[in-house]
Structure formats: structure tokens, C-alpha cells
Amino acid sequence: MNENPIIVALDLPRGQALDVAESLRGRVSWLKVGMTLYYAEGPKIVETLHEMGFRVFVDLKLHDIPHQASGAAAAIARLGAGMLTVHASGGAAMMVAAVKSARAAAAEEGLAPPAVLAVTVLTSADDATLRAVGVDRGAAAQVALLGALARDAGVDGVVCSPHEAQAMRLLFGPQGYVVTPGVRPARAAIGDQSRVATPTAAVAAGASHLVIGRPVTAATDPAAALDLIVAELNGAAS
């Protein structure tokens, strides 16, 4: 795991995203580009963040037929993304295709292959949300099922809430990626996420990386907000 496990989610318009990125130089290695920013700015935003010295997690949650997911994963890999996501609920064949094409595309470009991560159950969802879409299992059981499916498909790790991090760490072993959104400092509002935990609790449960967005990006001073979270993690580790 990186010395600093935090990935800051830049779910912002381009100008604001780049201002936040500039303020975080030297404080964090990873930035996440999700749908909000990528769909507005396209692949160029990934290149720009690379030029600023960041590693980039391209979080588009691919979910389509295997042919489409394969092509999209290859395109993301060619950008030099360090991580990309597919929905585990897309099925084993789709995940296998995405992993294979991402690795092949990276090799063709002379790049390190991205970590392909399977999204299990979104942190905004709870048991009631799953029941409403026809899933009879609770969130924890659904994450367990999808995590095992993803592992067998050869992905590098999963995206899950901190509540399932321990189970996913056991499933994927010490080298697997367990990336947890839904991370909120104790002082922060929860917002639209249901299954949340503090940064310290998420790491203790087995998370390799913590995705943190609004507690940093919506702060008056994003760098200071990030420093407080890092200090909290360092204090827990000492």
C-alpha cells in the first residue's frame, strides 16, 4: 500500500478540479476522475493531471456487453490510468474481457497495466435499495457474492464500502486492491452515502486506498482539510 492511501475524487467542473489539484501537489499521489469530470472534459483531463504529476484513477464504472467493456477498458488503459473500474454485476465474461484488453492495450503502449477494480455495491445503496431493484440479499451478502465473482474473473481488486473491507481483504489477500469510498472524517457530514466509516476505521478494516471527495474538495482550504485527514491516519498508526 502507498504511504498515503488517499485518493481525492475530483467530482468538479474543470477549473475547480484543477485548482484543487494544484493545491494538493506534494500531498497526495492519486486523484480520481469520475463521470462528472470525464464526461465534461474527455481524455484530455487525464493527460493534464498526469502532467501535474498525479496518478489517475479513471472511475467510469464500465457496465456493458463484453465487447463494449473491452474496448472502453483498452481506451482507458492507453491513457495511462493507474486504476479503472467495471461493475461486477456486469458478469464474469465482461470482467474477463476488460482485464484482458486493459492489460494488452497498456503493453502495446509500453505502459504499466492499470489495476482493474470491480465495483460491488455502491456506497449510496443499502438493503432497501437492493430490494427495490430485485436483489433479495442484503448489501454485505451481495458484496460477498460479487467480490468472489470478480476475484475468479481475475480483477485486481474491488471497490466496496468500508463495512465490507475486511471481508474483501480476506478474499483478495494482502496484495489485492480494496478501494473504499464512503470515507468521512468524524467531523464531516455523510451526505448521500449510506455505508460510511472514518478513514482510520476503513484502513483498520483492510482498505488499501480511501476515496475521499467532498470533505476535501468542498473545504475552504482543500490542502488543510487533507492534511487533517493524513494527520488522523498517522496518529492512528503511531
By the 8 A CB rule, do 113 and 81 touch? no
By the 8 A CB rule, do 39 and 72 touch? no
Active site residue 61: yes
| Measured CA distances, 56 to 92, 164, 220 (Å) | 25, 24, 24
| Kind plus residue range of the DSSP H or E element containing 86 | strand 83-87
The identity of residue 213, as a single letter, is G
Cell numbers 473545504 correspond to what residue?
A: 219
**Alpha-carbon distance 49 to 79, whole Å?**
11
Long-range contacts of 127-133 (CB under 8 A, 24+ apart): 129/194
Would you state the cell numbers that stand for residue 207, as one nine-digit string? 482498505
Q: How many CA atoms lie within 13 A of 36 on its CB side?
A: 11
Residues with catalytic function: 61
